[in-house]
Chains A and B, each alone.
Chain A
Amino acid sequence: MIHFRKRIVWLLVAGTVIAMPLLLRAGGESGKQASRHAHEEALYQCSMHPQVVSSKPGDCPICGMRLTRGERKGKTLAKGASGEQGKPLYYRHPMRSDVTSPAPAKDEMGMDYIPVYDEAQTSSRGTPVPGHAEIFLSPERQQLIGVQTATAEERPLAMTIRTVGRVAYDPELYGVLSEYREAVAAQAKMKNSPLPEIRERADALVRAAALKLKLLGFSDSQTVEFVKTGEQAGNLLLSSEIAWIYADIYEYEAGAVKPGQSAQITAVGLPGTRLNGVVKSVDAVFNAATRTLRARIETQDPEKMLKPEMFVDVVIEVPLGTRLAIPEEALFQAGETQLVFVAKGEGHFEPRQIQAGHQAGGYYEVLSGLSAGEKVVRSSNFLIDSESRFRAAAQGFLESEQK
């Protein structure tokens, strides 16, 4: 009897000992299950080699770095695709991420709680840019890297040409101009002369002077206008209230400079002074020695600061007209591809290949790929590009897995 009782006790003890780990294990099991479940939801990717994607945690075969975890966004799309996109999962305290609320709320300082979105609700729609995918960033994460956007707008664009010039000191031109003026005056006097030779001669003098002017870069209309206004060309020799600037334009930019364009003149000798001028004419002949074309710019200089032969810096503005443009920094040049990230609202960013034209005054002209009113990212482009590539590689993996 005693034996029997002992045996029961013994069996009980043994039973407990055996069952103990199982019981304890059962407790741990749920945790393990949960993490296993999480594994199924996760993708592992190398942060240096986005093409390395795996469904299991591990190290990158190339660099040996631990693969980073990311959500398997494609799968959960099915759940979120029922038009509920953009509905926040919960709201969190603006200062502390661990205080959350299921409904919108205000914190003690009256600030709104920040909505936290389910990042899995990304549409995995393919985009035409190879190696990039559309991404979703919650407002929190946008704030982290400071995403700013700008709108693509039609705006007047002006390209600038920076070059050097001199304040004109040109006795030769002065001479020719005087000569021409004389000739014209003489012509006018001789107009009524009965002698055809004299008339002829006067005309020839005018023609010769005009040709000289032409060779020096004066256009016909300019020549005519010069006479009409009766302007004195004294500024070619000495300072005057109207200064002439000779700016040198290189061949590759020569085509863009036209009379009538505005210009800004600065000089090393005159710090802080900026004078406005107008391109009056462009020479007809290239200067063989310097391989440049001369543009004449007229500027008002009431204080006679500009002295002949003074060196000045010239910026000529070449208006391009009104064009669709985006800020310079919004364009991401990934080698030959020109990319912008279009903010489509609610945290979605689409990489798009565009064709950019001139860079002008802090803007890029958009030739194609964007329409007016679309918003593009103008800061943190590198990180968004990086994220987009990671996403694309992950999607590629998912597709091949589904096959």
Chain B
Amino acid sequence: MIRHIIEFSAKNKFLILFLVVVSMIGGCWSAKNIRLDALPDLSDTQVIIYSRWDRSPDIMEDQVTYPIVTALLGTPKVKAVRGFSDFGYSYVYVIFQDGTDLYWARSRVLEYLSKILPKLPQGVQTELGPDATSVGWVYQYALVDEAGKNSLADLRSLQDWYLRYHLQAVPGVAEVASVGGFVKQYQVNVDPNRLLTYNIPLTQVIDAVRQGNNDVGGRLLEISGAEYMVRGRGYAKSIEDLEEISVGTNAKTGTPILVKQVARVEIGPEIRRGVVDLDGKGDVVGGVVIMRHGENALNVIRRVKAKLEELKPTLPEGVQVVETYDRSELIQHSISTLRHTLVEEMIIVSLVILIFLWHIPSAIVPIVTIPVSVLIAFIPMYLMGLTSNIMSLAGIAISIGILVDGAIVEVENAYKKLQLWEEQGRKGDYHEVRLNALKEVGPSVFFSLLVIAVAFIPIFTLIDQEGRLFKPLAYSKNLAMAIAALLAITLDPAMRMLFTRMDHFQFKPRWLCWTANHALVGRYYPEEKHPISRFLFRIYEPAARFVLRHRAGTILAAVLIVLTTIPVYLRLGSEFMPPLNEGSILYMPTALPGMSVTEAQRILQLQDKMLKEFPEVERVFGKAGRAETPTDPAPFSMVETTVILKPEKEWRMLPRSGILGRFLPKRRITYSELIDEMDSTLRFPGIPNIWTMPIKNRIDMLSTGVRTPVGIKVLGPDLKEIQRIGEELERIVKEVPGTRNVYAERVAGGYFIDFVLNRRQLARYGLSVDQAQMIIMSAIGGENQTTILQGRERYPVNVRYAREFRDNLPALKRVLVPTPSGAQIPLAQLADIRLLEGPSMIRDENAMVAGYVYVDITGRDIGRYVGEAKKAVEQHLDLPKGYSLLWSGQYENMQRVKERLKVVLPLTFLVIFFLLYLNTKSTVKTGIVLLAVPFSLVGAVWLLYFLGYNVSIAVWVGMIALMGLDAETGVFMLLFLDLSYHEAVEKGKMRTEKDLEEAIIHGAVKRVRPKMMTVMAAFMGLLPAMWAQGAGADMMKRIAAPMVGGLATSFILELLVYPAVYFIWKWRFEMKEGKADWIAKRHTG
């Protein structure tokens, strides 16, 4: 089959070339249009239901979150429904099974939500979150007015009513969130003393304001053949309009009482749940552009920027839009880092091939194969909807050197055969010779590529975040490999047939003739005369002879070297995701919950100012609290400051350390040194520092479930009881062997002022609970009663007590409740006022209040541990009725992965073994080939240790890729030993140890060039990944490091150990027993 394809391609070379060119054009188009992002989207398919209502967490939970969660239970394909209730906000996360279409999921949620929406309390604003996650925060800006002509409220209005809508209309933008500044609000600040003297209840003022602002229509009127539209105009348009609203009349005199007589009407700020600061200069207004799920980040940002540029001239005088975060820089940076690496790799691999082949017409084939296969690989990637990101490009980057293996083997074989043909006096048609050479190795090329692909299967079994992170890599790598394999049997034969000439040109001028000869015909050297081979022989031959003489010692040394890796491996750390240096810093100091806006703002500004003083810092954009988007659940005590750094070449120079330091040129401060310095400067008590990076942080904050290996969820109706059970569990589980850490969640952090209404007192004054609460709500809290329309802008009107009548406890006591008798009674006489500490956030899981107990374990099999812990809990815990325990945590995931790997890993190994067996037709040989795996681990582990890399899935991916490579190089190594051995046997020269040694030396040394070439191509091809700098390089390094180290050691050890092992095997088990002749006979026969 494969041979037929090769033959067909060789014969129809122009058709093949035409097809390749067409595909390349397709590849170019795909590469240009493929979606770009820095990292693959790691988020679950999740829909957020976001409700706003200025109530405390427990009220939110009871009246909003719980009803919504219950309504959503039973939605199809749902994995979990989790609710969070915070002050003023309720978030319900509906997490769908992997692979569910987001829009399908959203319409299901809407469907189920519709039955509950009418039942929610009045005033609750519920909406579906955007079709995006917080990872989609791709662009942020701040509005500043240094001229001081616009107030913060003006800027916020500009953002809310102008910029936001324009930007939201840009294709690909899911939402534009505003943050910081002041939302303008018309405030009717009521003076209770005035109310008292006029004897007007507060409710009357509220009603008056609510009824004093409307426009109506009176349908149509026909007058003399024309129709007139009837309008009743009554919109309050200004402070004056509001002030003129009549509250009532004096019963005795009939004098009207107007709003302005009982209240001050002002424009003030709406309640603030987020503040932002730019460069420590104080409050500004910020905007966050959130990209739609699955969009091309780069294009979206580009469009947003263009739109902003367009809008700039229309902004009021003095207003500037300052860019505070721009992900496109990172994307371009990382993509260009990777692109740069790819190009470097291609050049290096090409050079390696050129040098080792020393024959331009042959070298041109693999050299062309690389870019062609990479380019064409983009077509299936585009069609499969994969994005072009650090991971998928890294997948290609680690396979550049391997892509050409097929081509190299084919070309090398053809070269060898042609050289033989020339040597033997040019018998027969050289086209035939060439074609046969290609056909000879074609199938094994295919096999080797198959092995590499099979080795990658375990990566496809990864699920959740790991899966989403590494599958693109596996896809792109395998796609590139597959394309390369395909090209190896189509394009390569066709190309090889293009350069058909065997005779040298003879024409003048001579220099042109010389160049043409070298470029198009080349010279065929026999192995011994080949310039590269001669050099390699000089080094390798003595070494090979040495090991053959000290066989046992060599093997023992190899075993020892392999053993050294064990302690080294155990010292390696581990991490989930290798760092991606995003080039900017996210400074996230976080205090305990309960911080007030003023304090948060003060600290934020101080911190930003200090950060800005660093000479490396370009811009500091601080945010405390939340932006107005469902994708931001941050409380005030969590500061998120984006620090944009200047280009690295402007960073400070530092003298080098050490004795020689003074003589060496100064170096630039490094990223981590900079962070260390910042960390030691900004040591604010009570609000510990966290340094992370914008995207990394968003990804970290995405998942909402239990993150420890084991978690016990206590579900039930009452939070206090849940906490008690949790604490008891903490005690019990601590005793189970293997427990490293147990921690039961505790409720705290929220400070409350409770008005506990005294029913007897209420009865005495003839009041209902509702009437009293109405006053608590409107006098202290202040409800938005109506909306003022100003052009396109809409501002709420809020009626409440003026600040000085509600900002301390004595004042709160004197909040007056109107009674039916007309008297107004202070709250102090109706209720007990208590200060309490309570939950600042309530968690709801599948409609039960949930408390988590987090368990971290060490050194035990997780399944058995859970079994034992369950038993212990069963014995010792008396669970009250109505409460239940749910065991969950990462262990579910780990177990699932483990279960899968239990099947997949042996299967993979088996398939590789089987493929190798097919190739070698001998278990011993397959075993020898697989020796390469431990050999490669030596280099992989040592290099990781030396570079200080932690073990992460990225490293494992590199290891897995390495195994595929090992199998390939091992096969190659053994192949030549075998060939040489059989050749000797056939010639009857295999009688003594000396014969065997010579045969092995011949096989090992004389064919060191092609072996060296494939390995060098792969090895050198990875080096640019190792020295790459800049965004995205770290991730690639983690994958490449084990491959680089492993290839080096496995190659050296294979070169040195295989001859020894082969010798022992052949001598002990075949030649001594006289099998050699028999085998030889079988082969010849």
Contact = CB atoms under 8 A, between A and B. Distances in A.
A295 to B, nearest CB: 15
Contacts, number: 172
Interface residues of A, number: 67
Interface string A336-380: 110000000000000000000001000000000000000000001
Interface string A1-44: 00100110010000000000100110010001000000000000
Nearest to A50: B592
A334 B837 contact: yes
Contacts of B946: 21, 24-25, 28
A335 B751 contact: yes
B683 A144 contact: yes
B680 A291 contact: no
B829 A252 contact: yes
Nearest to A165: B197
Interface string B669-692: 000000001001111111111101
Given A10-B542, A48-B638, A335 B707 contact: no
B687 A383 contact: yes
A291 B830 CA distance: 13
Interface in B423-459: none
A127 interface: no
Contact of A382 (B594, B683, B823): B594
Given A25-B946, A383-B684, A164 B196 contact: yes
Can you list the 3 inter-chain pairs with the closest CB atoms, starting with the nearest?
A335-B837, A383-B686, A386-B686
Interface stretch (A61-69, A81-89, A209-217, A276-284): A61-69
Contacts of B596: 382
A289 B684 contact: no
A385 B856 contact: no
A68 B592 CA distance: 13
Nearest to B541: A6
Contacts of A7: 542, 546
Given A51-B743, A61-B708, A387 B685 contact: yes
Contacts of B599: 380, 382-383
Contacts of A386: 591-592, 595, 637, 685-687
A62 B684 contact: no
Contacts of A137: 685
A121 interface: no
B124 interface: no
Given A6-B542, A382-B594, A383-B687, A359 B680 contact: no
A144 B690 contact: no
**Looking at B196, B701, B743, B823, which has the most chain A CB atoms within 10 Å of its CB?**
B743
B803 to A, nearest CB: 14
Nearest to B943: A21
Contact of A66 (B594, B677, B690, B854): B690
B593 A66 contact: no
Q: Determine the interface band of chain B, counting residues with CB < 8 A from chain A.
A: 35 or more
A252 B752 contact: no
5 contacts: A137-B685, A291-B825, A336-B837, A337-B837, A383-B687
A195 interface: no
B687 A61 contact: no
A384 interface: yes
Contacts of A51: 743, 746
A336 B703 contact: no
A95 B563 CA distance: 55
Contacts of B593: 48
Nearest to B749: A48
B1002 interface: no
B270 to A, nearest CB: 23
A258 interface: no
A222 to B, nearest CB: 26
Nearest to B838: A335
Given A7-B542, A51-B743, 12 more contacts: A45-B688, A47-B687, A47-B688, A48-B593, A49-B743, A97-B680, A141-B685, A252-B826, A289-B822, A333-B835, A383-B685, A386-B686
Interface stretch (B2-10, B213-221, B807-815, B877-885): B807-815
Contacts of B591: 47, 382-383, 386
A145 B685 contact: yes
Interface of A: 3, 6-7, 10, 21, 24-25, 28, 32, 45, 47-52, 54, 59-66, 68, 70, 97-98, 135, 137, 140-142, 144-145, 160, 162-164, 166, 248, 250-252, 268, 289-291, 311, 313, 333-337, 359, 380, 382-390
Contacts of A385: 592, 686
Contacts of A66: 690, 692, 700
Nearest to B593: A48
A63, A65, A386: residue with the most chain B Cβ atoms closer than 10 Å? A386
A59 B690 contact: no
A62 B588 contact: no
Contacts of B852: 62
Q: Tell me what chain B mostly uses at the interface: helix, strand, loop, or mixed.
A: mixed
Contacts of B707: 59-62, 64
A65 B814 contact: no
B242 to A, nearest CB: 19
B806 to A, nearest CB: 12
B314 interface: no
B834 interface: yes
Contact of B690 (A47, A52, A248, A334): A47
Interface string B711-735: 1000000000000000000000000
Nearest to A313: B193
B560 to A, nearest CB: 11
B836 interface: yes
Contacts of A65: 588, 590, 690, 700-701
Contacts of B211: none
Contacts of A336: 834-837
B592 A335 contact: no
A315 to B, nearest CB: 11
A137 B681 CA distance: 14
B942 interface: yes
B821 interface: yes
B1059 interface: no
Given A164-B196, A250-B814, A251-B829, A61 B686 contact: no
Contact of A250 (B711, B821, B829, B948): B829
Nearest to A11: B546
Contacts of B700: 59, 64-66
Nearest to B198: A311
Nearest to B594: A382
A61 B743 CA distance: 9
Contacts of A166: 197
A382 B686 contact: yes
Contact of A135 (B594, B685, B706, B743): B685
A25 B542 CA distance: 30
A166 B194 CA distance: 12
Contacts of B809: 359
Contacts of B638: 48
Interface in B573-598: 588-596
A164 B823 contact: no
A63 B835 CA distance: 28
A3 B542 contact: yes
A251 B829 CA distance: 8
B482 interface: no
B606 interface: yes
Interface string B829-866: 10000111110000000000000101010000000000
A387 B603 CA distance: 14
Contacts of B543: 10
* Most interface-central of A32, A59, A61 (chain B CB within 10 A): A61
B741 interface: yes
B828 interface: yes
A334 B751 contact: yes
A66 to B, nearest CB: 5
Nearest to A31: B948
B745 interface: yes
Nearest to A21: B946
